């Protein structure tokens, strides 16, 4: 008795993932088994929909009088850390909660944080090294691919995690204790018992397979391009193939062929190690060439499977009707962008369409009429090559590529940094216009500047990149480095 201490469990969950219900289940299951237990919660900062930690303690001796519990977790005390989102497990590691006797249970489905979404370029966290660190620091790591485990069932993530917690064998609880708790709570009983059993069995078999490096699923290009791709080193096949697949989906085969021609012009000059310049250009060029005009937005909004994905995210079955409304606020630039430049006068200069403003549209995409309108708009890809925005974007692309090619013959590192400047061509409306204005100013008289003083140009490029990453939505020429 003197050596006994509470078994400590920390659960990290986001708003809407059912962390509170999970904590209630654990307390009720412990009581049903005859063990004293308590749970507390600490709300966190709303990184996505609100992150909350739930702390549970169970005293492993039945019918004990007045066991002493604590309200908050302590570093070095936790037997189990359960995270319903993988980066929350990373936070627990960062705070020192995970030690060599801690079992870590985590779901693998990402919910991206505000910081990841706001970052200029790709701000997403690479989960693989994070999971490797957690596995190294902990006693055991149980990964759960909830979507894969639950399949088409209505099981919720919290019930699967609950099953894994009990199935880990750390708590002195049996399956019947957990099922009693779920029935007692009375929330989606059948689905949650099913989810519990899935998690329980997964914990016994070691969880889901280790994550592959999330650099990530690449789309396969059409067969037509396979021979052309093999003209490049093996290292570049995957990224170029993905770029081709993206642009065929965006426009057509001839557009993807144009992409290959542009890459080829850089590849011929790339003498750097491992073709890092060509690889970066292949990624950035595909992204820029698939700029999101209103036609592309309509295509994405009417893509096959979108409604099913939304139902899945909301845990709504096919028999439940849902009303889907998409909100748009296009300005004058977006309207004239899909017209030929000579016809831009057709869009009136209304105050509501001026820069910084826009026409608020609420389109019921879930209805026949709303979906039909967007589908018609998405079918206008054939006019894109004649549009004002297409001409302007490709003019900027050529200036950027020329700058890269002029830099690479002087300084390979400068060329690589220049390639990264494509990050300024992003977003919509004012953000995109201002970013491209920065590029225009920077590339003015570029060749002579690079020849005369490449080091000074490199400093200017680096400064522009720092400012672009520091504040993605502001014209970097208006911001000063401290």
What contacts 309, CB < 8 A, 6 or more positions away? none
- Mean of pLDDT values over 365-389: 92
The DSSP symbol for 215 reads S
Sort 401 into a burial class: Cβ within 10 Å, 0-12 / 13-18 / 19+: buried
User: Is the model's pLDDT at 329 over the cut of 90?
Assistant: no
Q: What is the pLDDT of residue 28?
A: 96
User: Is the model's pLDDT at 173 over the cut of 50?
Assistant: yes
- Mean of pLDDT values over 128-155: 83
- Prior bond of 43 cis (ω within 30°): no
Domain ranges in the chain with CATH number 3.40.920.10: 7-204
In degrees rounded to 5, what are phi and psi of residue 57?
-130, 135
More confident residue, 28 or 72: 28
Nearest Cα residue to 334 out of 298, 282, 309, 284: 298
Kindly indicate the confidence band of residue 337, based on its pLDDT and cuts at 50, 70 and 90: confident
Q: What is the pLDDT of residue 480?
A: 43
Residue 239 DSSP SS3: helix
Q: What is the pLDDT of residue 319?
A: 82
Q: What is the pLDDT of residue 153?
A: 56
Q: What is the pLDDT of residue 405?
A: 96
In total, the chain counts a number of residues equal to 482
User: Is the model's pLDDT at 174 over the cut of 50?
Assistant: yes
Mean pLDDT of the chain: 86
- Mean of pLDDT values over 370-390: 92
Nearest Cα residue to 89 out of 97, 101, 77: 97
The label of the residue with tokens 């936070």 reads: 91
- Mean of pLDDT values over 317-334: 83
User: Is the model's pLDDT at 181 over the cut of 50?
Assistant: yes
| Half-sphere exposure for 400 (CA within 13 Å, toward CB) | 29
Kindly indicate the confidence band of residue 209, based on its pLDDT and cuts at 50, 70 and 90: low
What whole-number distance in Å separates Cα of residue 211 and Cα of residue 145?
Answer: 10
* Cα dihedral across residues 162, 166, 171, 176: positive or negative: positive
40-90 pLDDT, tens per residue? 988 865 444 557 889 999 999 987 778 889 898 988 899 999 998 888 899
What whole-number distance in Å separates Cα of residue 53 and Cα of residue 83?
Answer: 9
More confident residue, 80 or 273: 80
Q: What is the pLDDT of residue 150?
A: 65
432-463 pLDDT, tens per residue? 888 899 999 999 999 999 999 999 999 999 99
Residue 313 in tokens:
């995210």
- Mean of pLDDT values over 19-45: 91
288-311 pLDDT, tens per residue? 999 999 999 999 999 988 888 888
C-alpha pair distances (Å), 454 with each of 286, 301, 409: 27, 45, 11
CATH superfamily, region 7-204: Pyruvate-ferredoxin oxidoreductase, PFOR, domain III (3.40.920.10)
| Percent of the chain predicted with pLDDT > 70 | 89
More confident residue, 355 or 43: 43
Q: What is the pLDDT of residue 454?
A: 92
What whole-number distance in Å separates Cα of residue 417 and Cα of residue 461?
Answer: 7
Kindly indicate the confidence band of residue 351, based on its pLDDT and cuts at 50, 70 and 90: low
Nearest Cα residue to 105 out of 22, 34, 183: 22
Kindly indicate the confidence band of residue 481, based on its pLDDT and cuts at 50, 70 and 90: very low
């Amino acid at each position: 008795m003197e050596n006994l201490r509470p078994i400590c469990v920390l659960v990290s969950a986001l708003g809407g993932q059912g962390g509170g219900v999970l904590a209630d289940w654990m307390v009720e299951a412990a009581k049903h088994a005859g063990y004293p237990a308590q749970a507390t919660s600490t709300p966190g900062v709303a990184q996505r929909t609100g992150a909350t930690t739930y702390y549970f303690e169970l005293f492993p001796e039945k019918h004990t009088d007045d066991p002493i519990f604590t309200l908050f977790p302590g570093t070095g005390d936790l037997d189990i850390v359960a995270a319903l989102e993988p980066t929350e497990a990373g936070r627990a590691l960062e705070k020192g909660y995970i030690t060599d006797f801690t079992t870590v249970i985590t779901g693998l489905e990402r919910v991206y944080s505000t910081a990841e979404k706001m970052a200029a370029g790709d701000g997403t966290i690479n989960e693989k090294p994070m999971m490797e660190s957690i596995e190294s620091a902990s006693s055991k790591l149980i990964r759960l691919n909830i979507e894969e485990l639950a399949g088409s069932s209505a099981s919720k993530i919290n019930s699967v995690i609950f099953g894994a917690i009990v199935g880990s064998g750390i708590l002195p609880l049996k399956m019947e204790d957990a099922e009693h708790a779920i029935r007692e709570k009375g929330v989606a009983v059948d689905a949650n018992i099913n989810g519990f059993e899935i998690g329980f069995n997964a914990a016994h078999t070691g969880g889901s397979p280790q994550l592959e490096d999330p650099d990530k699923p690449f789309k396969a290009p059409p067969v037509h391009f396979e021979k052309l791709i093999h003209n490049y080193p093996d290292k570049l096949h995957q990224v170029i193939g993905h770029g081709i697949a993206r642009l065929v989906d965006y426009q057509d085969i001839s557009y993807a062929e144009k992409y290959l021609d542009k890459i080829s012009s850089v590849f011929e000059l790339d003498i750097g190690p491992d073709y890092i310049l060509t690889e970066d250009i292949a990624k950035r060029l595909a992204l820029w060439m698939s700029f999101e005009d209103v036609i592309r937005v309509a295509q994405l909004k009417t893509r096959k499977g979108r409604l099913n994905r939304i139902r899945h995210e909301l845990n709504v079955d096919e028999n439940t009707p849902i009303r889907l409304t998409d909100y748009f606020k296009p300005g004058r630039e977006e309207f004239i962008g899909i017209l030929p430049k000579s016809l831009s006068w057709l869009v009136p200069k209304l105050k509501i369409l001026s820069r910084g403003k826009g026409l608020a549209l609420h389109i019921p995409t879930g209805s026949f009429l709303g979906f039909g309108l967007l589908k018609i708009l998405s079918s206008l890809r054939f006019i894109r090559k004649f549009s004002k925005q297409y001409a302007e974007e490709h003019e900027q692309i050529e200036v950027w590529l020329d700058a890269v090619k002029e830099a690479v013959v002087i300084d390979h590192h400068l060329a690589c940094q220049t390639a990264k400047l494509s990050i300024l061509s992003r977003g919509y409306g004012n953000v995109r216009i201002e970013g491209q204005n920065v590029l225009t100013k920077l590339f003015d008289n570029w060749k002579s500047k690079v020849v005369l003083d490449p080091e000074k140009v490199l400093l200017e490029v680096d400064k522009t990149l720092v400012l672009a990453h520091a504040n993605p939505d502001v014209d970097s020429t208006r911001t000063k480095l401290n």
